[in-house]
Amino acid sequence: MADENNYSGQSIKVLEGLEPVRKRPGMYIGTTSIDGAYHCLSEIVDNSIDEALAGEAKHIDVILEENGYVTVIDDGRGIPVDLMPGYGKSALEIIMTKLHAGGKFETDAYKFSGGLHGVGASVVNALSDHLVVEVKKGNDIYRQEYERGVPKTEVIKTTEMKYPRSYLNGTATSYKLDGTIFKQGIDLELKQVKRRIKDRSYLISGVFFTIHDKRIPTKIGYFFDGGIVSLLKDLNKNKRVLHDPLYFKSQQEDLELEVALQYNDNMAENVLSFVNVINTKEGGTHLTGFRIALTRAVNAYGKKEGLIKANDEALSGEDVREGLAAIVYIKMPSTNLQFEGQTKTKLGNAEVQGVVQQETNKALDLFFEENPKAAKQILGRILLAQKARFAAKAAKEAVIRKGALEGATLPGKLADCQSRDPAQSELYLVEGDSAGGSAKQGRDRRYQAILPLRGKILNTEKAYLDKVIAFKEIKDLVIALGTGIGETTDYEKIRYHKIIIMTDADVDGEHIRTLILTFFFRHLPELVKRGYIYVAQPPLFKLTLGKKSHYAFTVEERDALLQGDFKDDPSKVIIQRYKGLGEMNPDQLYQTTMKAENRLLKQVTIEDTEVADQTFTLLMGDEVPPRRKFIQTHARMAEIDS
């Protein structure tokens, strides 16, 4: 603790300009991991999106350079370069070197803004080793360069473009992040960049987005004139839909609302919400308003048509949202935005809920009245969901009465660990009794539990909860986890923070793994979101020469060993290809696949919920042609074991 007697004006340090950003980058971009590097890209892209939202830009280009630079170009009005009143410097320099100096703080400049905090360009500048801004206004080019947020040149006027483009006006920002801050690296994956750009392109219809990855090289373009309806169709790809998309748009004063929804034959709810192109992953008042209106409108229609009797139990929100795909998108002045939640992705504006609820209710009432056939199909589907919920509740209560689910004795075949600390405990889900026996013998009993699974578990992609609960292998798994399932799921009661799927490296093993992952994704998704689910990677090969032996997890590792440790006499090396976990004795299984220092685990994550939802629907659903196409397309990525 500081000496109170020395606490004076000299003890106070004022961080000026962009110095606080470099001092505490996490306060501005959340993290300095690779996620922070993607956040920086979003901040620069969102500045261009501000121009598009204002109707001033039609093209936004993202270029991933070979030398680690990222360049973003738009054809908007271009950042102002005239002198800023009271500063004696160009507006460009002020925007790039001062926090909270952008046009999004002035509603005359931008009515709606994409950035979350309005500090994007200056923060990225501060965290960049080198950054260049080039503004084009007709034939005039204005350029300024910075190093770690500090101007290295004046704003120069020239006729030569460093970043050639055919647009009459616009801004080009090229930056290379500072590797001393982003210690995990600054190389952006094309897949992740595509996801971020594609999401935004759906929300801003009529704008051309281009990604040019010069490292591969490859060029990709996105243009969705249909806006959020295009996104809705993408969400429902490979699913059987009940009706044409319902889309409506309304405006009340400074708030614009767009909603698109469509029911499908899937059991999962997939509702996305956005505010000014920000993905509000935690929801908020706009999503609450939509859900309340949907539940009330469906119940009102059911009663009006006599499909829900006076004494019947009302349809719940859970019933109404089963099989629903929807997008709720609002735009409002960024100066009015209020965000909540740990990641600031939950809208907190109380006034929004009433507006969304009122407008959604009106639109649904009109839709049901004008489309009676679709309305009855939707209601019939929802009534089936309610019936299944009642059946699941009854089945669960019956199971509980038998003492076999909540507060029950752990399954007899579970070899539990000694630790009672979930953070230290691991549960291995092992394919078959043979491998299960080896795992039980070889494990570290202090913190590793083993649950053998016999055969292939139920495909839960379209199974209602009553059937899921009745399936013995799943029931045993739920009891072992301790969370419960369905309406009473309590994730805080989880008994293990690592749940490791360990199956054979063959077609059957892959299928079992996919079935288990489908169950977690559809029925206990929070376990995936929390990062508790892992897939074990057993070795594919054992190489032996005399008394020397090594394991290889990939073909590349095998070849490297033959050219390395075994290079003196590779022809005499005995290579064993493991096709099943049962081929390893308990000690081998532990040393290669279970021992923390040696094992290779892959954490299952859902960075893109929509993509994961589509993939599970495609692989585990009823539609054969798209599944066949997916397998044919991705077959080249799989190893063929001849």
First-last CA distance in the chain: 67
Cα torsion angle, 71, 76, 82, 84, sign = negative
Dihedral of CA atoms 601, 602, 604, 605 in degrees, nearest 10, equals 120
- Separation in Å, CA 590 to CA 489, 542, 575, 593: 33, 14, 20, 6
504 is catalytic: yes
Residue 565 one-letter amino acid:
D
Neighbour tally for 226: CB within 10 Å: 15
Mind giving me the DSSP string for 272-292? EEEETTEE-TT-BHHHHHHHH
- Separation in Å, CA 634 to CA 155, 159, 217, 322, 505: 50, 48, 21, 30, 17
Query: With contact defined as beta carbons under 8 Å apart, do 297 and 361 qualify?
Result: yes
Neighbour tally for 39: CB within 10 Å: 21
416 is catalytic: no
For residue 241, what are its two tokens? 């839909």
Given 65, 145, 282, 508, the catalytic residue: 508
Residue of 334, 346, 337 whose CA lies nearest to 112:
334
508 is catalytic: yes
Beta bridge partners of 211: 62, 220
Residue of 640, 597, 601, 634 whose CA lies nearest to 615:
634
Query: Where is 259: in which H helix or E strand?
Result: strand 255-263
Given 134, 431, 466, 476, the catalytic residue: 431
Given 506, 557, 583, 610, the catalytic residue: 506
Query: With contact defined as beta carbons under 8 Å apart, do 360 and 259 qualify?
Result: yes
Given 74, 322, 504, 613, the catalytic residue: 504
Three-state DSSP class for 400? helix
For residue 481, what are its two tokens? 């986890």
Name the residues annotated as catalytic.
Answer: 431, 504, 506, 508
